[in-house]
């Protein structure tokens, strides 16, 4: 008699909509937050029902949706389009959208105009990349009612400047820069901080010393407030253009320890497994996924 996987439960049906204050409360009581990228209404519904707390309309859509080699070609209009689609499909999850390259760097005023476009499309928070030099922009936005997620470590929009997709903050001097930047961003009012490709010890220190920041790790170990992955990586569709699966990614379509010929999990089950692993602390595994 064969055993068929059961559908993932609709976790969103039993929870109220996430708001920034509720996310802060969850973080304060030690609950890990699960974030995933999302680009359309159908996946927004699936991810929400599987229990994802935060949906990120990432400019990674340039890679996984458009087939680009980087995130740089993505436009504000494209981000607004995908934000609107995701907003239509979600029910409970909190919605964050990336400000794409060239839409916030010139001035705080430019950043506000771009952020307003995304907020009108349905975003509840905007994300921007960059160190302490973006603190004035973060302050300008938050003082005007736009919640901000900052992003340190590997910043894909600056891939040419940093020389590729490399771990950041490996030595003491570089780690201090990350901590100083994180401090400046926290003082400017950032609510979230994505830490990408950062040594686990550095990410843990930032998370401990700046408790007012909800830190979201991707290749930054288990010591952050929560975790984020690109949806396509979680589903074993790494890179979108044939790239190698990064060390910090786990293919959640396969149950741990399952036989090679065992049936894979459905998309909904895979996402639910990711949420469960983030919540119980089993993902990421420092020995496997950390730096």
Question: Which residues are catalytic, by number?
Answer: 196
**Is there a cis peptide before residue 255, judged by omega within 30 degrees of 0?**
no
* CA pair distance 179, 25, nearest whole angstrom: 24
C-alpha distances in angstroms, 162 versus 154, 158, 159, 177, 216?
Answer: 8, 6, 5, 15, 21
User: CB-side exposure of 21: number of CA atoms within 13 Å?
Assistant: 1
* CA pair distance 93, 82, nearest whole angstrom: 16
Closest by Cα among 15, 25, 85, 86 to 51: 15
Mutual orientation of helices 172-187 and 200-209 as an angle, nearest 10°?
A: 30
């Amino acid at each position: 008699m064969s055993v068929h996987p059961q559908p993932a439960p609709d976790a969103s049906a039993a929870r109220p909509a996430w708001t920034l204050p509720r996310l802060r409360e969850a973080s304060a009581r030690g609950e890990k937050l699960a974030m995933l990228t999302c680009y359309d209404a159908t996946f927004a519904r699936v991810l929400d029902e599987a229990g994802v707390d935060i949906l990120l309309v990432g400019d990674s859509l340039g890679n996984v949706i458009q087939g680009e080699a980087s995130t740089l070609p993505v436009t504000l209009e494209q981000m607004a389009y995908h934000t609107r689609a995701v907003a239509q499909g979600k029910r409970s999850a909190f919605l964050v959208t990336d400000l794409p390259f060239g839409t916030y760097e010139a001035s705080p005023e430019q950043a506000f105009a771009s952020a307003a476009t995304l907020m009108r499309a349905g975003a509840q928070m905007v994300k921007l990349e960059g160190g302490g030099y973006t603190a004035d922009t973060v302050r300008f936005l938050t003082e005007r009612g736009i919640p901000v997620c900052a992003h340190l470590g590997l910043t894909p929009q600056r891939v040419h400047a940093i020389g590729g997709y490399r771990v950041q903050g490996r030595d003491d001097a570089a780690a201090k820069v990350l901590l100083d930047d994180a401090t400046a961003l926290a003082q400017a009012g950032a609510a979230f901080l994505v830490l990408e490709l950062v040594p686990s010890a550095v990410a843990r220190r930032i998370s401990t010393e700046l408790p007012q920041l909800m830190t979201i790790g991707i290749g930054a170990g288990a010591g952050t407030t929560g975790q984020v992955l690109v949806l396509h990586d979680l589903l074993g569709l790494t890179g979108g253009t044939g790239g190698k699966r990064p060390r910090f990614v786990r293919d959640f379509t396969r149950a741990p320890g399952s036989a090679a010929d065992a049936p894979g999990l459905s998309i909904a089950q895979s996402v639910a497994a990711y949420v469960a692993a983030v919540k119980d602390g089993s993902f990421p595994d420092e020995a496997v996924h950390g730096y």
